[in-house]
Amino acid sequence: MTQLHDADLAAPLILIVDDTPDNIDILVESLKQSYQLKAAVNGFRALEIANGRPRPDMILLDVMMPDIDGYEVCRRLKANPLTADIPVIFVTARHETDDEKLGLELGAVDYIVKPISPAIVQARVRTHLALFDQKRALEGEVRKRTQELSRSRMQVVQRLGRAAEFKDNETGMHVIRMSHYSRLLAQAYGGSERWIEMVFTAAPMHDIGKIGIPDQILLKPGKLDADEWEIMKKHTLYGAEILGEDPSPLLQMSRSIALTHHEKWDGSGYPYGLSGEQIPVEGRITAISDVFDALISSRPYKKGWSEDDAIGYINEFSGVHFDPNMVKLFNQLLPEIRAIKAQYLDERTA
């Protein structure tokens, strides 16, 4: 349904979800003076509106609806990082204690029983919008105060990543470039800001396991023989071991990237021969970022490829080495990728 009330653009947007038009009309009459309003007559339409733009500041949700009920709608809202923070108030004729308990356990902030009182609806909406505003303000302050800590953490992670690269890439610009490429791909793929930043922060740790590879193999100017190649492949397992089984989400993602960035879409990669979506998203993202930058980079044992040849390689092995959907995003992002490449040149290249 279209917007029901042409309120001031600064007014909060409330989504009303009910399969009975009369119930929607009652809530509209109660709230139209103070808020922008949208309505949905079923759960699927409610989820569609909630995932669109602009997102609602609050959802008033009926429980008893056909197809999917209000409880399932709430579950899906709370499971989606794009909609998880939207306050949900159940407005329903079900008034048993167990019903209310279930609604609150699913993440709703309140429970209003029909038939409604306009004054009560107005008061509850006003209260929970104020609480939500306070929560957002507090989160903003916390983000502001932790920016310096995040910068310091990023510097530590980059330096650890550069330690693994130091023998064959003294400037360490490879880990910086590929982490920026990875963030671009993560943003294009979609997801929460927190997840995107974790991909960006964890990507430099992809080759941390190279610390365990002997120099005569790591820096060999010619092709590795079969035994040497088996040793080289172990850097993924070494990286996972170094990062360990830590409860930190950042270290968990770093471990995942270290372990899976050499897996291939067709299952021919290592260390486990994962294929398709068995490979974590962060591993698929890092695979493209790492290979592209490795191809164009010069090393003591090889010359860098031209940019066109490297792009051609990524596309040639779409659906073989690389996730084809990620390759499409890579191609769309080439102007931004070129800008990053130009900004973070290796010293000897510069």
Q: Check whether residue 93 and residue 204 sit in a common domain.
A: no
Cα of 193 vs its chain's centroid, Å:
6
Tell me, yes or no, whether 148 lies in a domain.
Answer: no
Residue by residue, pLDDT tens for the chain (350 residues) are 444 444 445 789 999 999 999 999 999 999 999 999 999 999 999 999 999 889 899 999 999 998 899 999 999 998 887 888 899 999 988 777 788 888 889 999 999 988 888 999 999 999 988 888 887 777 777 767 766 666 666 666 666 666 666 665 544 688 889 999 999 999 999 878 889 989 998 998 899 998 889 989 988 888 899 999 999 999 999 999 988 888 888 889 999 999 999 999 999 999 999 999 999 999 999 999 999 999 998 776 678 899 999 999 999 999 999 999 999 999 999 999 999 999 988 765 44
Give the whole-angstrom CA distance, residue 227 versus residue 126.
Answer: 69
Domain boundary pick from 98, 121, 136 = 136
Helix (H) or strand (E) holding 112: strand 110-113
CATH number at residue 254: 1.10.3210.10
Determine phi and psi for 114, rounding to 5 degrees. Answer: -80, 155
Determine the structural domain holding residue 175 and report its residue range.
166-343
Q: How many domains does the chain have?
A: 2
Strand order in the sheet with 88-92: 36-40, 13-17, 58-61, 88-92, 110-113
Spatial separation of the C-alpha atoms in residues 46 and 42, rounded to whole Å: 6
Residue 159 contacts by C-beta under 8 Å, 6 or more apart in sequence?
172
Same domain, 185 and 301: yes
